[in-house]
Amino acid sequence: MVGARQRPRVEGGREEEILDATVATVAELGYDRLTMDAVATAAKASKATLYRRWSTKAELVVDAISRAKGCAMPEAVDTGSLRGDLIALACGDGGFTDELPMSVVAGLLTALHRDEDLQKAFRERFLAPRNALTSQVYQRAVERGEIGPDVDVALLAVTLPAVIIHHAYILGVAPTDDLILRVIDHVILPAARGSQVS
* pTM of the predicted structure, to 2 decimals: 0.80
> Residue 65: CB partners within 8 Å, gap ≥ 6?
23, 26, 71, 101, 104, 108, 122, 126
Mean pLDDT for the chain overall: 88
Q: Which domains does the chain have, with CATH numbers?
A: 14-69 (1.10.10.60), 72-193 (1.10.357.10)
Q: Measured between alpha carbons, how far apart are the two ends of the chain, in Å?
A: 50
Q: Which of 14, 17, 9 is nearest to 53 (CA)?
A: 9
Query: 68-92, pLDDT tens digit by residue?
Result: 777 777 888 899 999 999 999 998 7
Cα 175 to Cα 110: distance, rounded to the nearest angstrom: 20
